[in-house]
Amino acid sequence: MSDAATTPSTATKLVAEALGTFLLVFGAIGTALVAGEVVGVLGISLAFGLTILAGIYAWGPISGGHFNPAVTVGLAAAGRFAWKDAPGYIIAQIIGGALGTTLIVLIGLFGPEGWLTAAQDGGFASNGFGGASPGGFGLGAAIIAEILFTAIFVLIILGVTHPQRGTAGFAGIAIGLTLTLIHLASIPIDNTSVNPARSIATALYGGGEALLQLWVFLVFPIVGALVAGVLHRALFEPKGSVPPAPKEARVK
């Protein structure tokens, strides 16, 4: 078969990115808001890990399975994704995430009396520091956590999806478990972003404080992703051996 017959179109890739980000936000944030008191931090963390795992296997072969602007930027910095394609991916991810929280709001309109108002007054599972931090952690803690955990996440993705050294069909499991671990460690700090699209999606309905603090969860996950991409390229990809973008960035 020709490449034209087997290679997804740009539009198809963008739809896949929007769907994957939608699944991540709708499933995991929905769990946090609707069942958070029942399942606790462990259940919410697993919801993030399971939704990203499902999205990767469902749509990763189409778009690469980024579902996160920081991942897109990190892959581009590592030479595994074309910079020219990054804006389209990021826009699709933001749209998908916003759709996820919007549908949660629509469900909430038909929920128990006062549920939606309480969810929004509580920040709608938005990221935050200081008074908005689940554990009372300050701005410095949020900045360090977002840089560090995003860098770890992107480094793991770059490692397990490498065309020669990667874990082939198990990459999605490794990525999902890593995201679960990150949430277990950092939900008490700032409700865990490592994904600007997720942060935008919840801040839209989280009220004034969530919107005022959103910049932290846009800037510093991107910083962490850039650090990871540059480090991976410098340490693990000898000069001239970086796999061509974007095919090798896909989870298989």
Q: What are the chain's domains?
A: 3-249 (1.20.1080.10)
Contact present, 130 and 210 (Cβ < 8 Å) = no
pLDDT in tens, the chain (252 residues): 334 457 899 999 999 999 999 999 999 999 999 999 999 999 999 999 999 999 999 999 999 999 999 999 999 999 999 999 999 999 999 999 999 999 999 999 999 999 999 999 999 999 999 999 999 999 999 999 999 999 999 999 999 998 877 776 899 999 999 999 999 999 999 999 999 999 999 999 999 999 999 999 999 999 999 999 999 999 998 775 555 544 434 443
CA distance 53 to 221: 20
Kindly tell me the burial class for residue 37, based on how many C-beta atoms sit within 10 Å of its own C-beta (0-12, 13-18, 19 or more).
exposed
The alpha carbon torsion through 165, 66, 203, 115 (nearest 10 deg) reads: -100
CA distance 42 to 180: 8
Give counts: helices (H), strands (E), the chain: 9, 0
